[in-house]
Amino acid sequence: MKSLEITFYKTFFLALLATIFTIEVSVAQWQTKVDSLVQDAIAQKAFPGAQVLVAHKGEIVLERAYGFHTYDSLIPVQNTDLYDLASVTKILGPLPAIMSLVEQGVLDLDVPFSTYWTPWKKYRDKKDLTLREILAHQAGLTPYIVFLNEVLRSNKHRGPQLKKRFVRAHSSKRFSLQSYENRYIHRNFPRKMFRKINRSQVSQEKTYSYSGLAFLIFPSLIEQLTGADYRGYLRSHFYDPLGADNLGYLPTQRLPGKRVVPTERDSLFRKTLTKGYVHDENASLFGGISGNAGLFSNALGVYKMLQMWLQGGSVGGRKYLSPETIAAFTALQYPENNNRRGLGFDKPLLGNDSLPASKSYPAPSVSPESYGHSGFTGTFVWVDPTHELIYIFLSNRVYPSRTQRGIYTTNIRETVQEAIYKGLGI
């Protein structure tokens, strides 16, 4: 009898070891696939380097850095390095604050936005627009305004020159918004931007059209409604209690010892390689603090926020948002208008799972309940509550120039995402 028990336990133990080994080999295979895909994209100069983080069922299963800060291969990317998040700022900056204010009843998604942003009351095409329409990119707002044109004047001999009434090389009481090391913006310039936004045209055709204009307004609105400094509100209500120390605005001021990955060689405004300051020119004219861009982080800092959403708004016994609020903001809003967006969040193309990989967005395997956002600098974050999966991809594809299109021609962010789903057997 004893020999039978020994044989049984021996067989069971060997089977268990075999299962563990098989799982480890399987994990190693998909991780190796991700490594190969990212390194191949770097070789094709889609970007000089990247960070990739994958979390599944509350556990980080991959966190890696690839390549270098620039193509000279002098500074290898580390997991602690900070990237310019570009438009991912929209869902990690103003949106959590807006979600909280809606939950508290301070904001209503379906009353005219002019109730809160009162300058719009006098504009017939804007006075009845709702926050729901704006966040879902269904309002018909002008997609983008190049405010940099307001601070430059043409000179046929010397090229574009900065207007001194708006930009100076040294800080002062009036020129207090720092755009770069030797670029200080007049403190009243944001008012000029607000006036142009207020006067901008609104399309009468209510179809899906992406616009970031309202996100330039949101930080000021949040300060107006909360009575708190916008950056301080985000830090005290979200980033600090979540332990997202690396996530925030103005990285060179906030984390002086941290390495920040550069973005573009700017020949027009900053006249140098942009590093440590926001790449987006509109955000830079707000002094680097804006709702459309300006946040910097490493992948781990971003993960802290995404995991909070995935867990229904609570982490470590602290409630940040309710599951109902998260569900409402991440749900489709206007699918009948062929609009795939949630409230602030991007979502998969409608019918995405039936599309070939070359036409899907993002990867074909993501669930319809998933959500995230991408950024112009080469960033991408995605949360899939159905599969309890988080995917973060950070790069500086705009180095040395925004004309670099390799990240799009390789479809690398979505290709890596699909490899993760296949590798995890989802």
Judge whether residue 7 has pLDDT over 70.
no
Mean pLDDT, residues 62-89 taken together: 98
* pLDDT tens sequence across 227-278: 999 999 999 999 999 999 999 999 999 999 999 999 999 988 999 999 999 9
Judge whether residue 344 has pLDDT over 80.
yes
Residue 154: the pLDDT is 83
Contacts of 209 (CB under 8 A, 6+ apart): 137, 140, 141, 143, 203
- For a pLDDT cut of 90, what percent of the chain falls above it? 90
Give the tokens for residue 258: 């941290």
Q: Which amino acid is at 74?
A: L
> What is the value of pTM for the model shown?
0.93
Judge whether residue 11 has pLDDT over 70.
no
* Residues β-bridged to residue 264: none
The answer to whether the beta carbons of residues 98 and 335 sit under 8 Å apart is no
Residue 50: the pLDDT is 98
Judge whether residue 400 has pLDDT over 80.
yes
Buried b (16+ CB within 10 A) or exposed e, 275-308: bbbbbbbbbbbbbbbbbbbbbbbbbbbbbbbbbb
* pLDDT tens sequence across 105-164: 999 999 999 999 999 999 999 999 999 999 999 999 999 999 999 999 987 667 789 999
Domain boundaries, the chain: 31-423
* pLDDT tens sequence across 302-339: 999 999 999 999 999 999 999 999 999 999 999 999 99
The answer to whether the beta carbons of residues 179 and 100 sit under 8 Å apart is no
Mean pLDDT, residues 212-228 taken together: 98
Q: How many residues does the chain have?
A: 426
Residue 8: the pLDDT is 44
- CATH superfamily assigned to domain 31-423: DD-peptidase/beta-lactamase superfamily (3.40.710.10)
Report strand pairing: 161-162 vs 152-153. antiparallel
Buried b (16+ CB within 10 A) or exposed e, 233-247: bbbebbbeebebbbb
The answer to whether the beta carbons of residues 194 and 120 sit under 8 Å apart is no
Judge whether residue 218 has pLDDT over 70.
yes
* pLDDT tens sequence across 350-395: 999 999 888 999 999 999 999 999 999 999 999 999 999 999 999 9
Contacts of 329 (CB under 8 A, 6+ apart): 95, 99, 135, 342, 343, 344, 345
